[in-house]
Amino acid sequence: MNKRTYIIIIFTIFSSLLFSQENNVFIQRRQQALEKMSPQGLTLLQTTHKGYRFGFMFQQNSNLYYLTGMNDEGIILILSKPGIDFPDKNQVAHSLLLLDPPPEKASEKNLFFQLMQDSLKFDLVCGKRELRKLLKSISQIDVFYTNVIKKNQEEGKTILEKKLIKFIEKIPDVKFVSPTKLTASIRRIKTEQEISSMQKAIDITMIAHREAFKSMQPGIYEYQIEAVVEYIFKFFGSQQLAFETIIGAGPNSLDLHYNKGTRLIQPGDIIVMDIGCEYAHYCADITRTIPASGNFSPQQKEIYNIVLEANQEIIKNLRPGFTLAQMDSVQRAVIGKYGYEKYVRHGPTHYLGLDVHDVGDWKKPLESGCVVTVEPGIYIQPNPEIANEYWNIGVRIEDDVLITSDGYRVLTDALPKTIEKIEEIMKLDGLGNLKFD
C-alpha cells in the first residue's frame, strides 16, 4: 500500500467515525419510514436536478437529507420494505448509491464503499452503476415513493428518469405516492439537535433584523436593506436563505410575497421585513414591521398594536392539544373586535423545520416538539371605507415558537417587537448609514 492510498483510507475511516457518532438518528428515521411503507413498497429518492433553493451553496432535497444526513450531490437512496435480493447480499432494505470515484482512484473504490457501508449502517453502499442490477432484482412493487418520476410519465430528461420509466413499465398497477407521506409525521416532531440548529438559524436572523432596524432610513432602496440582511446571514455562517428576502415598503407592505426590492423608501412608509436564513438545513422565519423614519405615525401605531395583541394572544394559548385552526380563530377574534377583520388576508401560522413551510398534518393538534410560526397581519388597501392616513399600512409580526410538554417557548423572544423598543433600536447607526466619500 502506497502512502497516498494509506492517507486516503485513514481520512475516510476518521470521517466515517465522526459521522457514525450521529448516524443512529438517521438509521432510526429510515426504519420509521420503512415501517410506514406498504408491504411491497419501494422508496427511491435522488438529489433534485437544481439542488439549490435561494442561497449560496448546494442544498439537498429535504426528505433525502432527513433520512441520510448527507448533503452530497448525485446520491440515490433506495428503501425496500420486503428487501431486495441483491447478489452476494442478504435482503437489502437500505441502499445508498454514490457517484463512482474518478478513474485514478478506481482501485480504492470497493474499500471506500465498504467503509461507507460500515460507518453509515446501510445494507448496501455502491456506485450508481449498480442501479440496473438493483432494479433487475425487484419483481414486485405495490407503492412507489419517489421524487424522480411521476405516474404515467412517458419521457425522461435524465438517464435515471429513463431507467425508472422503463423499470416501472413492467409493473403497470403500481401506485405512486409522495415520499413526504412517509416522513411528514416524523419530521413534524423536532429532536433537540434539530431545535438547536433552528435556534442558530433564528439567532442569525434576529441579528439581521436588528441591523435592518438600524440601517432603515428614507432615501435608500428596499434592495439595500435586503443586502444588509443577507450580508449578516452569510457573515454568520448561513449557507442558504430559507426563502426569498421580503422587504416591502409603503404599498409593497401589502404584498405577502413581495421580493422585487426596487422601491425607493419614502419618509411615511411602513416596511414589512419577512426574512429567514437556514443553518445546518433548518429554517428561521421572522417578520418585523418598522417605520421608515424611525417613528410610527398614530395610524401605524394603532394597526401595529392590534397585530401585536393578536400575536401575543395566540402565543399565550399555545400548548399541546391546541390546533392551527384555533390559532386562526384567536387572530380573527382579536383583530375583529377592533373592526379590522376584513383586512386579514392569511392564516397566522405554519410548521417550520427543514422547509420554511414544513410538512405536518394541519388538522392534527399540536404536540411537544412541533415548531410553528405565529404571524397575524393586517393589510389595508386604498379604499373609500377608511381614511387615507390608513392606506398602504401593512403590518405583520411573526415569531417562531416551540411547543413544549407544558406550553411553549418563543425561540425569537430576544428580538423586540414593541413600538418603544423598535424605535429605540432605530436611533442607532447601522450598515445602511454607509456613504460614498
Looking at residue 116, its pLDDT comes to: 85
| Positive or negative torsion for Cα 60, 371, 324, 301 | negative
Residue 151, SS3 per DSSP: coil
Cβ atoms of 300 and 270 closer than 8 Å: yes
Mean pLDDT to the nearest integer, 113-118:
87
Per residue in 4-57, pLDDT tens?
444 444 444 444 444 545 678 999 999 999 999 999 999 999 987 655 556 667
Q: Is the pLDDT of residue 433 over 80?
A: no
CA distance 147 to 188: 20
Residue 344: pLDDT band by 50, 70, 90 thresholds?
very high
Beta-bridge partner residues of 97: 76, 126
Residue 94, SS3 per DSSP: strand
Cβ atoms of 73 and 59 closer than 8 Å: no
Mean pLDDT to the nearest integer, 401-418:
98
Cβ atoms of 128 and 96 closer than 8 Å: no
Q: Is the pLDDT of residue 145 over 60?
A: yes
The closest of 312, 294, 434, 422 to 376, measured between CA atoms, is: 312
Which residue carries 448516524 as its cell?
A: 23
- Please give the domain boundaries of the chain with CATH numbers for all domains: 3-184 (3.40.350.10), 188-433 (3.90.230.10)
Q: Is the pLDDT of residue 3 over 90?
A: no
CA distance 351 to 208: 22
Looking at residue 87, its pLDDT comes to: 81
Mean pLDDT to the nearest integer, 81-95:
89
The closest of 392, 370, 366, 389 to 381, measured between CA atoms, is: 392
Q: What does the H/E/C string look like for 22-81?
A: CCHHHHHHHHHHHHHCCCCCEEEEECCCCCCCCCCCCCCCHHHHHHHCCCCCCCEEEEEE
Give me the percent of the chain exceeding a pLDDT of 90: 77
CA distance 385 to 383: 6
Residue 90: pLDDT band by 50, 70, 90 thresholds?
confident
The answer to whether the pTM exceeds 0.85 is yes
Per residue in 231-280, pLDDT tens?
999 999 998 999 999 999 999 999 999 999 999 999 999 999 999 999 99
Cα distances (angstroms) measured from residue 329 to each of 107, 349, 351: 64, 11, 17
Residue 172: pLDDT band by 50, 70, 90 thresholds?
confident
Residue 269 CB contacts under 8 Å (≥ 6 apart), including other chains: 218, 249, 250, 253, 291, 292
Which alpha helices (DSSP H) does 246-323 contain, by range? 298-317
Mean pLDDT to the nearest integer, 332-352:
98
CA distance 44 to 147: 7
What own/partner pairs with CB < 8 Å and gap ≥ 24 does 293-299 have? 293/217, 293/218, 293/267, 293/268, 294/216, 294/217, 294/423, 294/426, 294/427, 295/423, 296/270, 296/419, 296/423, 297/268, 297/389, 298/389, 299/387, 299/389, 299/390, 299/393
Looking at residue 46, its pLDDT comes to: 93
Rg (CA), the chain: 25
Per residue in 207-227, pLDDT tens?
999 999 999 999 999 999 999
Per residue in 382-406, pLDDT tens?
999 999 999 999 999 999 999 999 9
Residue 325 CB neighbours (<10 A): 12
Cβ atoms of 305 and 395 closer than 8 Å: no
CA distance 54 to 328: 29
CA distance 278 to 283: 4
Residue 434: pLDDT band by 50, 70, 90 thresholds?
low
For the chain, give the longest Cα–Cα distance: 84
Which alpha helices (DSSP H) does 216-264 contain, by range? 222-235
Q: Is the pLDDT of residue 62 over 70?
A: yes
Looking at residue 105, its pLDDT comes to: 61
Neighbour order of strands in the sheet with 91-98? 124-127, 91-98, 76-85, 42-46, 143-146, 175-177
Average pLDDT, whole number, for the chain? 91
Looking at residue 13, its pLDDT comes to: 45
| Positive or negative torsion for Cα 157, 161, 165, 167 | positive
Burial classification of residue 405, based on how many CB atoms lie within 10 Å of its CB (0-12 exposed, 13-18 middle, 19 or more buried): exposed
Q: What is the C-alpha end-to-end distance of the chain, expressed in Å?
A: 62
Mean pLDDT to the nearest integer, 138-154:
92
